[in-house]
A = this chain, B = another copy of it.
Amino acid sequence: MKTESRYLRSQFVQAFALCSLVLLPNAGAWADEGMWTFDNPPTKQLRQRYNFTPTEEWLDHVRLSSVRFNDGGSGSFVSPHGLALTNHHVALGQLQKISTPQKDYVKDGFYARTQAEEVKCPDLELNVLISMENVTARVLGVLKPGMSDKETNDARKAEIAKIEKESLDKTGLRSDVISLYQGGEYWLYRYKKYTDVRMVFAPEQQIAFYGGDPDNFTYPRYDLDMAMFRVYENDKPADTSNYLRWDPQGASDGDLVFVSGNPGSTERLSTMVQLEDQRDCFYPLLLKMYRRRLGVLKQYAALGPEQAREATRQIFGIENSLKAFTGEYEGLQDKNLMAKRQKEETEFRARVDSNPEWKAAYGSAWDEIAKAEKLYMTRLKDTRFRSVRASSMAANAPTIVQYVAEVQKPDGQRLDGFHDSELESLRFRLLSPAPVYPKMEEALLVDSLQEGLEELGPNDVFIQTVLNGRSPREVATEVTAHTKLGDAAFRKSLLEGGPAAVAASTDPLVVLAVKIDPIMREVRKWYEDNVQSVETSAGEKIGKARFTVYGKTTYPDATFTLRLSYGTVKGYPMNGTKAPSHTTFYGLYDRAYSFDMKPPFQLPQRYVESKNKFDLSTPLDFVNTCDIIGGNSGSPVINRAGELVGLIFDGNIESLVGNYIYSEESNRAVAVHTAGMTEALRKVYDAGPLADELEGR
């Protein structure tokens, strides 16, 4: 099951944060709030506020045209021939992986004029949500009175694994059981997978991410944050008859629009104790870790142009996360926001306690979570630092060690992440042929071991096991110098060779991973038995209580599964004046010349040369009130007719507290405008045929 646990939050968050995005709630009687599941769309709000009723056909069309990018973003099909649109920053990882020191597609952009020129991505998996089935009764049916939290957790997990396995065997589709409403509901989501995904178009990063870190998460904005892939089946462009027609006029001020995508995670239904721990423990720690990681990467990038190229994506990702976390952290420090959340919780609990039956069934949940959280905080550092981190090459080692052990067990007894239904995607990722940059991996590993030493102390069992009296630099240098884990074929030999191959391996990273495996398992088991199991059970109570008290009037927290948001194309009060609902290419040139073409505000040469060749008054970016968050990057913006009018790529600065609360007043989703995309494709990139395919010509 893919319920996000905060144990894994750090890595998840980074993945989502790559796709910026965040938005916030609040407002009274139904603002444009909510990330709604497709089984429960906000029909009442849409009818009352917008006089719009989505039909079943409309919903199916939107859902089947929507694509999840499994490395942390969203997208949509935009032609019947497998063409998929997403953000440049979602495509960034693949762009970097298909680049070489000689040909830097991140810097220069990429355009395949013919299908033959399309380049296959090494490890990109796309998912389309085919069906949804409510399996709450089945999951909860295995839980018996008198079970301990641990027994409950084990039974729940086993049943979920069983459902997923049965579905996979029956349908051949990727099958995930997800938990919604903190366990109030469990659903089986089935996905069609695409793993032959080829790069079609990407502009220069400098225009996709124009304004760089300073402009990130802000608006007005002037970014052409787009990229296109094509999905193939049997070496031919896939037939994607469910796709979004291109509205060349694009979104206009005041239009009702929808966003269909995969918001990563939110904390809107978390308890106050959980929020307070986020504020007082998680964010300070995360921010410290990310700042440290950023320093290492910047130091590495400063060594030369090739090093800078290698570190591009990670630097982008970490700066992006740091800016997002800072905004979220400030949100948690905002006394008004916290008071609002406290008021909601107090009222909810009072309602629960007012009915003896409800009180008996659900009333204890908040205190149970509080207790588990308190326990959790005592070993927070263990859960963070007793692991091989930062270097993705090195981090693969413990995963491989666990893989070969876990797959020996019955599915229901395995660690999450190793169930049968998950293995294909996991292998796809572990066996990626993408290039590895050993010197960067080494630098990251040196620092993460040093960080572990500082945080856990020299007497920690993990540290002693890893270092064994040597320095972090000695250990990291040695293992990265001699490991073959950078080679996909070696990784494959381990996976296929199973426990015997792993046990026999003398690869220093594998040897290290075997040594630390029991320590990592201990922490994980402790967390699952003492924190996760308690909080899941208590969360289920709160989820049920919410349905009981308020009915199913709300939407679940984000879970990186498909959601529908709705809203209006609308400016907002900003900086003492008004932000317009859209920007134009004129603004791009203004910002460039205003900063005297200094980075990160310089223009790619192509734009300097093209400035008199196209209509600068064409809309470039726009904002709307749709409720989104990290993971929604690349989501299509859709009009009433189910056509594409824009491409989500960010939230504004006011949106960063969206992890906790939504406010319609000034929080906005930021999108690229369809008119801007085709104008640039035709006039700046000379990519008329691609624009024609988008416009159905």
- Chain A interfacial positions (CB closer than 8 Å to B): 211, 214-218, 220, 253, 323, 327, 574-578, 580-587, 589-591, 593-596, 601, 616-617, 652-653
Inter-chain contacts of A578 with B (CB < 8 A): 214
Q: Is the interface of A mostly helix, strand, loop or mixed?
A: mixed
Contact call A594/B584, Cβ cutoff below 8 A:
yes
Given the interface pairs A253-B596, A593-B617, A617-B589, the reply to whether A217 lies near B583 with Cβ below 8 Å is no
| Identity of the chain B residue whose Cβ is nearest the Cβ of A252 in the assembled complex | B596
Chain B residues with Cβ under 8 A from A652's Cβ?
Answer: 576
In Å, the complex CA distance between A601 and B580 comes to 10
Determine how close the nearest CB of chain B comes to the CB of A70; give it in whole angstroms: 29
Between-chain CB contacts (< 8 Å), 20 pairs = A211-B577, A214-B578, A218-B577, A574-B575, A576-B653, A580-B591, A580-B594, A580-B595, A580-B601, A583-B594, A584-B593, A584-B594, A585-B590, A586-B586, A586-B590, A587-B587, A587-B590, A589-B617, A590-B590, A593-B617
A584, B653: Cα distance in complex, Å: 24
Whole-angstrom distance between the alpha carbons of A583 and B586 in the complex? 12
Closest B residue, CB atoms, query A621? B594
Chain B residues near A585: list those with CB within 8 A.
590
Report whether B586 and A653 are in contact in the complex, using a CB–CB cutoff of 8 Å.
Answer: no
Determine which of B218, B587, B601 lies in contact with A594 in the assembled complex, contact meaning CB atoms within 8 Å: B587
Closest chain B CB from A221 CB (angstroms): 9
Give the complex CA separation of A591 and B617 in angstroms. Answer: 10
Q: Which residues of B contact A214 (CB under 8 A)?
A: 577-578
Chain B's nearest CB lies how many Å from the CB of A98?
A: 31
List B contacts of A574 (CB < 8 A).
575
Q: Give complex CA distance A215, B578 in Å.
A: 8
Residues of B within 8 A of A580 (CB): 591, 594-595, 601
Contacts of A217 in B (CB 8 A): 576
> Is the beta-carbon distance between B575 and A586 smaller than 8 angstroms?
no
A586 / chain B contacts, CB cutoff of 8 Å: 586-587, 589-590, 593, 616
Bound Cα distance from A653 to B577, whole angstroms: 9
Check B594 against A220 for contact (C-beta < 8 Å).
Answer: yes
| B575-A653 in contact (CB<8A) | yes
State in angstroms the CA–CA spacing of A601 and B253 once bound together. 15
Contacts of A218 in B (CB 8 A): 575-577
Q: A577-B653, A583-B594 are in contact. List 18 more A-B contacts (CB 8 A).
A: A218-B575, A218-B576, A253-B596, A576-B652, A576-B653, A580-B591, A580-B594, A580-B601, A584-B593, A586-B587, A586-B589, A586-B590, A586-B593, A587-B587, A587-B594, A589-B616, A589-B617, A593-B617
